[in-house]
Structure 1
Amino acid sequence: MEKSSSLKTSSHSTYRLQYHIIFTVKYRKQILTKAMLQRLEEIFSDVSGKWRCRLVEFGGEADHVHLLVDAHPAMDLSRFVGNLKTVSSRRMRKENQEYLERFFWKPYFWNKAYGIISIGGRANLETLLSYIHRTRCPD
């Protein structure tokens, strides 16, 4: 497996772009189950690959998720984040329709807002990985 801290190259650049992305459930409802988190990880990994990115790490709790993504320099970050939210929201609402209707009367899933933090030196990455690993997965 490629180390996430190594530099990558493309035809005219050398880069290492890593982003910590946080999505929260609409109204911070405590609705994400362990199975839903596993499915979200699959969805985010799939979408990331289509953008020439890689989901390095994923973790979450009942009301939010954390993604650590290795990005490509040609990627439009805001469009990428929008695509992650749109695809995951649509798939989760479709696959969990009956369950989610108990919490939302409109087709909601994620809050409009999101968090995104660029990751710098190695110490910061280790701190972030430790934090993501300590998140409490719902039963």
Structure 2
Amino acid sequence: MSRFRKLSQTIWHCQYHIVWVPKYRYRILTGPVGTEVSNCIRVFSSQKGCEIVELNVRLYHVHVLLMIPPKVSVSDYVGTIKGRSAIRVFNKFKNLKVKSYWGNKFWARGDCVDTVGLDSEMIRKYVKYQEKKERVAEQRDLFNN
């Protein structure tokens, strides 16, 4: 099976590592709250057409390694996941909303996004190979003319 995914006119392999935290980095993502957050991420990711490679919900942060199709922006994905999961968590665990410091916000502002691509050494070798291949093609064209 190829590592590439297919859309109607595109083949793609866009993998991202994304990390975000609850407001004030409270250690709240444990037990049923952590399970609900994990379920929300899985459901909303599949709705966006994203494929989760790894997901790890820790006490005070979330790590997700996933493939996002090129038609979905990373900021759109993160905004959807954080927004919709916050609504679900607050609706399911009403006791969280009682504390005034939440202020209708479950997640902290911002996130960390890192692209995960091919090995840089492999890319360098590929680029060098392409350069060599082009030189050979140019020389062949010179001798044929």
TMscore range, shorter length? 0.7 to 0.9
Call closer, same or farther: CA 1:56–1:101 in 2, change over 3 Å.
Answer: farther
Q: How far 1:103 sits from its partner (Å)?
A: 7.1
Call closer, same or farther: CA 1:82–1:23 in 2, change over 3 Å.
Answer: same
Equivalent residue for 1:112, pick from 103, 109, 116: 109
TM-score by length of 2: 0.73
Secondary structure of the corresponding residue to residue 21 of structure 1: strand
Q: How far 1:100 sits from its partner (Å)?
A: 4.9
TM-score by length of 1: 0.76
Q: How far 1:49 sits from its partner (Å)?
A: 1.2
Q: In the TM superposition, what whole-angstrom CA distance separates every residue of 1:23-74 from its partner, at most 9, and x where no partner exists?
A: 1011111112132222211111111111111222111221111111111111
* Counterpart amino acid of residue 80 in structure 2: N
Q: How many angstroms apart in 2 are the aligned matches of 1:72 and 1:79?
A: 12
Secondary structure of the corresponding residue to residue 57 of structure 1: strand
Aligned pairs (5 A) from 1:52-63? 52-63=49-60
* 1:25 corresponds to 2:22: yes
* Counterpart amino acid of residue 51 in structure 1: K
* 1:81 corresponds to 2:78: yes
**Contact kept? 2:38, 2:57, Cα under 8 Å:** no
Comparing 95-104 with 61-70, greater Cα deviation is found at: 95-104
* Counterpart amino acid of residue 62 in structure 2: V
CA RMSD in angstroms, aligned pairs only: 2.1
Call closer, same or farther: CA 1:66–1:105 in 2, change over 3 Å.
Answer: closer
The match for 2:91 is 94
Q: Which has the higher contact order (CA 8 A, sep 6+)?
A: 1
* 1:12 corresponds to 2:9: yes
* Counterpart amino acid of residue 75 in structure 1: V
Answer 1 or 2: which has greater strand percent: 1
Q: How far 1:99 sits from its partner (Å)?
A: 3.8
Q: How far 1:118 sits from its partner (Å)?
A: 0.9
Secondary structure of the corresponding residue to residue 27 of structure 1: helix
Runs of 4+ in 1 over 4 A off after TM superposition: none
Answer 1 or 2: which has greater helix percent: 2
